Every structure is written in structure tokens, then in C-alpha cells.
């Protein structure tokens, strides 16, 4: 069972700096099951190809600078507890 299947709308995928497109299939599954996808802004990534590949899927909820991703995750988790 995948994270997308197990957690559905509670799943959050975070794509950070890296090479390749291997995160793209995972984020499609997360979105198909109602989850959220956050991607590091390619302009702030050491290697932009993986974040850009994620953005190119058009399945991304937020594109953020690296330094704002942790607080965004905290905020989302706090909202989920309400």
C-alpha cells in the first residue's frame, strides 16, 4: 500500500533539490488520493531538475523557497488538528 493510498487527503509530498523525475509519479498518486504537494522553488535548489519536473506535472499545490517549507508544513499540520 502506498502513502497516497494509506493516508489519502492527509498525505503531503515534499519535493526538494535533486536530479531526475522520480518524484513525479509519486506526486500524481498523492494528488489522485486528495493529498497535497509542496515543491522547492527551483531558483532556490542546488539542482533544479527534480523540482522542475514536479512543477511540470501541474499537480503542485505550492512552490516555495526552501527556507519557508518547514513552517508551511507546521502550519498545515496545525490546521489538520482543528
Report the CATH superfamily, name and number, of domain 3-80: Methylesterase CheB, C-terminal domain (3.40.50.180)
Q: Return the domain boundaries, the chain.
A: 3-80
Q: How far is the C-alpha of 61 from the C-alpha of 38, rounded, in Å?
A: 6
Dihedral in degrees, nearest 10, Cα atoms 70, 4, 34, 82: -50
Reported as a pLDDT band with limits 50, 70 and 90, residue 82 is: low
Closest residue by Cα to residue 48 from 57, 40, 38: 40
User: What digits encode the pLDDT tens for the residues 24-58?
Assistant: 889 999 999 999 999 999 999 999 999 999 999 99
User: What digits encode the pLDDT tens for the residues 8-23?
Assistant: 999 999 999 999 888 8
Look at residue 37 and give its three-state secondary structure: strand
Amino acid at each position: 500500500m502506498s502513502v497516497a493510498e494509506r493516508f489519502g487527503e492527509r498525505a503531503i509530498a515534499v519535493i526538494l533539490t535533486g536530479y531526475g523525475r522520480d518524484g513525479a509519479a509519486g506526486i500524481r498518486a498523492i494528488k489522485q488520493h486528495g493529498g497535497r504537494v509542496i515543491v522547492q522553488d527551483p531558483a532556490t535548489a542546488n539542482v533544479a531538475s527534480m523540482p522542475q519536473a514536479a512543477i511540470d506535472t501541474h499537480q503542485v499545490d505550492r512552490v516555495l523557497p526552501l527556507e519557508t517549507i518547514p513552517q508551511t508544513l507546521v502550519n498545515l499540520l496545525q490546521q489538520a488538528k482543528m
